[in-house]
Amino acid sequence: MADSYEPGAVPDGPLLEVEDLYVEFRTRDGVAKVLNGVSYHVDAGETLAVLGESGSGKSVTAQAIMGILDTPPAVVTGGEIRFHGENLLAVGEERRNEVRAEGVAIIFQDALSALNPVYTVGFQIEEQLRVRQGMSRRDARDRAVELLDLVRIPNAARRVRQYPHEFSGGMRQRAMIAMSLALDPEVLIADEPTTALDVTVQAQIMDLLKEIQVERRMGLILITHDLGVVAEVADRIAVMYAGRIVEHADAVSLYRTPGHPYTAALMDSLPRLDQKGSTLNTIKGLPPSLLNIPPGCPFHPRCPRAEDRCAVEVPPDHRLGLGRTSKCHFAEELVSRV
């Protein structure tokens, strides 16, 4: 086993690696195969975007990384999650708690639900500082004010004494970011951090995350379905469908020539300024039930490129260049089109 992570250690290789991860939800209706061999990694100072429709497994992967899956019904049945080379699935809860928040932190999708309504925002930031770092109440309060100021919440010294319902949606999201940064994590997972926010606030939140990431050289995993946000901030992109990574590429290559029909369909569904008044493209059908994933390529029932083999043969990972892969029988043909 690799040496255990210690705060302040110099990164050697990827900060965080997810390798061949399998997760099942065992329900009364049957076994839902939610993750089916997911693999990706993130390096220091890098932004990895994880794209896909709702139900593709993006958030479940994040919860597995954080060790917060509801068990039951969730069961991790295979794979590894390595932080600085240490498999987090093979350590005890005490060790997992040491890494959680200090090594890897998460911004949850719905800040209003994630924040406790009966405690002030300041108390919720201060608590982890007192418990994890042994700060006094006064020092923890001062640090909480600094963190709220860092995420550009006006009048931080006053706001620190307010409750979540007294914050706007954008301010709550900023408070969640402040809370996630309190223990100086090396990897930050942002799970749909701009959901339900207006476009202006979305841009402010993403600019803020990027600025903090560059300053601290954090690895950032951005979980989203917003292709516009991804285009501006991502270094690499992992596209998920039915619990699988169907394409993995650097952002420039993926946007220029998608290597999987699902990725291409997502790109085609974006509104374009040069097609004003035209009908917006959609992906026909619905994502498959994870209780009954189709044989072969799981996207084949919705794929305009599908042939008979797609319904019976599971496509392997086709390597399309340095660090680029696609799970499609026609991947090479797709990327050869310019």
Going by pLDDT thresholds of 50, 70 and 90, the confidence category of residue 8 is: very low
Degrees to nearest 5, angle at CA 49 with 326 and 302: 45
Average model confidence (pLDDT) across the chain:
91
**SS3 call for 229:** helix
Going by pLDDT thresholds of 50, 70 and 90, the confidence category of residue 338 is: low
In the 8-state DSSP scheme, what is residue 300? G
Going by pLDDT thresholds of 50, 70 and 90, the confidence category of residue 3 is: very low
In whole angstroms, give the CA distance from residue 48 to residue 219: 8
**SS3 call for 329:** coil
pLDDT at 1 over 50: no
pLDDT score recorded for residue 42: 97
Chain segment 38-47, per-residue pLDDT in tens: 999 999 999 9
Rg of the chain over all Cα atoms, to the nearest angstrom: 21
pLDDT at 195 over 80: no
For the chain, the distance separating the N- and C-terminal CA atoms, rounded to the nearest angstrom, is: 45
pLDDT at 7 over 60: no
In whole angstroms, give the CA distance from residue 43 to residue 60: 21
In whole angstroms, give the CA distance from residue 194 to residue 248: 23
Chain segment 137-186, per-residue pLDDT in tens: 999 999 999 999 999 999 999 999 999 999 998 999 999 999 999 999 99
Report which of 206, 204, 254 is spatially closest to residue 232, judged by C-alpha positions: 206
pLDDT at 100 over 70: yes
Q: Which amino acid is at 17?
A: E
Q: Provide the whole-model pTM.
A: 0.92
pLDDT score recorded for residue 4: 47
Chain segment 196-211, per-residue pLDDT in tens: 778 888 888 888 899 9
Here the tokens at position 312 are 């019976």
**SS3 call for 292:** coil
Chain segment 208-259, per-residue pLDDT in tens: 899 999 999 999 999 988 888 888 889 999 999 999 999 999 999 999 999 9
Delimit the domains of the chain by residue range. 261-337
The rounded Cα 82 to chain-centroid distance in angstroms is: 16
Chain segment 45-76, per-residue pLDDT in tens: 999 999 999 999 999 999 999 999 999 999 99
Please say whether the beta carbons of 210 and 194 come within 8 A.
Answer: no
pLDDT at 99 over 60: yes
pLDDT at 6 over 60: no
In whole angstroms, give the CA distance from residue 330 to residue 12: 36
pLDDT at 10 over 60: no
The per-residue b/e assignment along 159-179, b for 16 or more CB within 10 angstroms, e otherwise, is bbebbbeebebbbbbbbbbbb
Report which of 232, 236, 222, 230 is spatially closest to residue 322, judged by C-alpha positions: 236
pLDDT score recorded for residue 37: 97
Provide, rounded to the nearest whole percent, the portion of the chain with pLDDT above 70.
Answer: 95
Instruction: Please report, for the chain, how many H helices and E strands are present, in that order.
Output: 12, 12
Provide, rounded to the nearest whole percent, the portion of the chain with pLDDT above 90.
Answer: 75
pLDDT at 305 over 70: yes
